[in-house]
Structure 1
């Protein structure tokens, strides 16, 4: 087999390089094991944290290798909030990743495939522009539906001039892609709902639309449970610990966990631990102090590799979101869900969503609404399970996580590559 060269564009893959794990880190490693020549292009600015990864010393790019995979860090704009600097960072990456890719191509040859992944659409646009100039296929991965997320959040009206312009731009990106990869099982319906598919007179062939969920490196996760242990007195106690990990932003509705803790303040055997950072962290810590709560603790940011050990100490895990501002009918593909499952712990899911692994695998409690009362009741319900019932939930979660291992997910990605290369 002729070795194929794949370049992955992900603005925020620097976090994966640092953590030695994550969707495109694991895709890159699995593809390399199968004989592909893989490189990852990412921004030098840190995602949702201040600062940069490396000192460029006047250069526009710097390359570092992890697991044999070169990560090409592109000059970008540091930011610390979702303001104008973050927009400038997106634009800078769009421009500079093209310059960086052309420079690398002159030295090493152009790729056979570009695999461009959003969070934001400018990364997809950069990938498509380069692919057209090199006459190679570009596979666009849509991690979040823009601008639908804006519409549901109420930031932009769908029928406004801006809303229509954003949808036109989105349609053009999808139309130009050689293949589309969606992360949630219901996302492809978005194409049909907008009448963009060929069956409804549109110009997007649904046979080029694929679904590849998020997942987990199951083996590495189990190894890190013991290899990445660290001291934390809140984990080393006899209480029933219910753990939330991840970003702390309005969409995560962590206020509901604070209020649930208030309802459980008389249960000395229960404690909620919150690991992560975000725009709401300081406000919530102050709120806990003002309410005099000792049964919920905000632990702040921890390295990704520490999460398996943290979750191994949990009685249960909390997949917490707000039910507003997001279309849960398309499903959910959050990394933390698969970490919770791989840890073999019951999951309390606080929003009702379609295509839910928690419901399909019967590995936890799925609430219709994430009210503080509902969360508190679910926590007490898990604590009240007998050992056999509890062990069954844990077994279902852990076994279910194996089907989301990245070796299986890379099989699906290879099939996408085979389609676009065959038609190229």
Structure 2
């Protein structure tokens, strides 16, 4: 099959962040399918160009074709960010229409819905199947996280686009298990909605044996404080890392140190908040190849979520897949409909935004026996291999993209909901 994927923020495997579509595409390329990913050449999370010498170009990454698109550069979270999204819409249309290739399916993937909208028009132009993939419920997320009111012009605009693309989609993929109910409420047939969470390449387990540039520093921290509780990921509002930092006051300096690895808009604020604690450390983001060996240096891994009704639709966090695969005990602070840590028997879950409860959970995990830690590692591996193995998820992704071919071959066949 030939599949186009429109994802504004798609990344190469060498880049820091979510590589969902490269990972899926790479698995499918191994089976001789042709996958083309349309993404911005402007890195939104760093506000820089991927290649300062080129803005519109094509790149072959291990057989996966990336179409890098110029989009309006910006910084911050204002009007220019919306214009950056709109520029992606027009550039994706232009580049797609100029291609002589006729894909079998075109996938428009949120976060923002202009990618889904561009995929719709391209699918009509190319006479391809139209697949909508929702990885974040915009505009619901914008409202629930408190950044915008339900009457904000951007919320109204995205709400209109949301209804438009849902009702025209041939198939819909969601990463959140509860999102199907949300979309059904808009009059969409449940039979076309399929859950494909974020996944991980199980071969990355071998990366644990690699080198971490932070090894010497973290080993020094362990010598000083005994054990290390680590967070690796984005430092944004949704990550609720303020809860983690505040929990440090309940943990003595000879019990454990808190290590934060990553970047994000909240990082400076968090560092200021942590200035009174000598056992809280911050490091810059690391490459994807360093993630596994860095996580393996920790005694406990941490995830913290906001206390919001948004998570009644569930979560699908890439960092949890990394955590589960490395096999260290996980401390999860959140109130979500799909508690992956509990389901995987991978650690302890505590209420969100409660530093005292977070500290209690951390102490419990710091005191686990060797056998208890070994059982967590075994249980975590079984769970992630069963639920989040990227090879299995890529097959399901292709199955949905190919629904039209099967219907033509066997009209009575009904695509089963995953």
**TM-score when scaled to structure 1?**
0.90
Contact 1:124 1:173 in 2 (8 A): yes
Q: Secondary structure at the match of 2:315?
A: coil
Is 1:322 the counterpart of 2:336? The answer is no
Residue 36 of structure 1 corresponds to: 33
2:345 corresponds to which residue? 362
Find out whether 1:182 has 2:179 as its counterpart. no
| Partner Cα distance (2:392, 2:153) in 1 | 42
Against the structure 1 CA distance between its residues 279 and 231, is the aligned structure 2 distance closer, same or farther, given a 3 Å change threshold? closer
State how 1:269-348 maps to structure 2 within 5 Å: 269-289=255-275, 291=276, 293-324=277-308, 326-348=309-331
Query: What is the correspondence of 1:204-215 to structure 2 with a 5 Å cutoff?
Result: 204-215=188-199
CA-CA distance at 1:393 after TM superposition: 1.7
Counterpart of 1:25? Answer: 22
- Checking the alignment, whether the CA contact within 8 Å between 1:179 and 1:420 is kept in structure 2 is no
Distance 1:55 1:273, change over 3 A: same
Deviation of the 1:399 alpha carbon? 2.1
- Give distance in 2, aligned partners of 1:356 and 1:225: 25
Match of 2:393 in 1: 409
| Conserved? CA contact 1:20–1:66, under 8 Å | no
Out of 382, 388, 406, which is 2:371 matched to?
A: 388
1:101 and 2:108 equivalent? no
Aligned Cα root-mean-square deviation (Å)? 2.0
Contact map agreement 1:127 1:138 (CA 8 A) in 2: yes
Q: Separation in 2 of the partners of 1:160 and 1:53?
A: 32
Q: Deviations over 1:361-387 (max 9, x none)?
A: 211111133411111111110112222
Contact 2:38 2:69 in 1 (8 A): yes
Aligned residue in 2 for 1:232? 215
Cα shift at 1:176: 1.0
User: Contact (CA 8 Å) 1:137, 1:421: kept in 2 or not?
Assistant: no
Contact conserved, 2:231 with 2:303, CA < 8 A, in 1?
A: yes
- Does the 8 Å contact 2:10/2:18 carry over to 1? no
SS for the counterpart of 1:42 is: strand
Q: Residues 302 and 100 from structure 1, CA distance in 2 versus in 1: closer, same or farther, beyond 3 angstroms? A: same
Q: Describe how 1:369-380 pairs up with structure 2 within 5 A.
A: 369-380=352-363
Structure 2, gaps ≥5 residues long: 409-418
Query: Deviations 1:208-260 (Å, cap 9, x if unpaired)?
Result: 111001111111x2122223433433322343111111111122111111111
1:69 corresponds in structure 2 to 64
The runs of at least 4 consecutive aligned structure 1 residues that moved more than 6 Å come to 159-162
- TM superposition shift of 1:162: 6.7
The answer as to whether partners of 1:276 and 1:300 remain within 8 angstroms in 2 is yes
Structure 2 vs 1, CA of residues 16 and 79 (structure 1 numbering), >3 Å: closer, same or farther? farther
The superposition leaves residues 170-210 of structure 1 with CA deviations (integer Å, 9 ceiling, x where unpaired) of 11110111110000111100023x3x33xxxxxx2221111
Shift of 1:150: 2.0
Q: Could you say which residue in structure 2 is the equivalent of 1:13?
A: 10
Partners in 2 of 1:370 and 1:385 — Cα distance? 24
**Alpha-carbon deviations, 1:126-161, whole Å to 9, x = none?**
001110122111111001111111221234444778
Does the 8 Å contact 1:14/1:73 carry over to 2? no
- 2:144 aligned with 1:152, yes or no? yes
Matched with 2:415 is none
Q: Does the aligned pair in 1 maintain the 2:39–2:69 contact within 8 Å?
A: yes
The count of aligned residue pairs is: 403
Query: Secondary structure, in 3 states, of the residue corresponding to 1:224?
Result: helix
Pick closer, same or farther for the CA change 1:419–1:306 going to 2, 3 Å.
same
Paired residue secondary structure (1:141) = strand
For residues 325-373 of structure 1, the C-alpha deviation after alignment (integer angstroms, 9 at most, x for no partner) is: x511111101001110001011111012112221112111111334111
For 1:208 and 1:310, how far apart are their aligned partners in 2? 40
How far off is 1:125 after superposition? 0.3
Range that drifts further, 231-240 or 171-180: 231-240
**1:200 aligned partner:** none
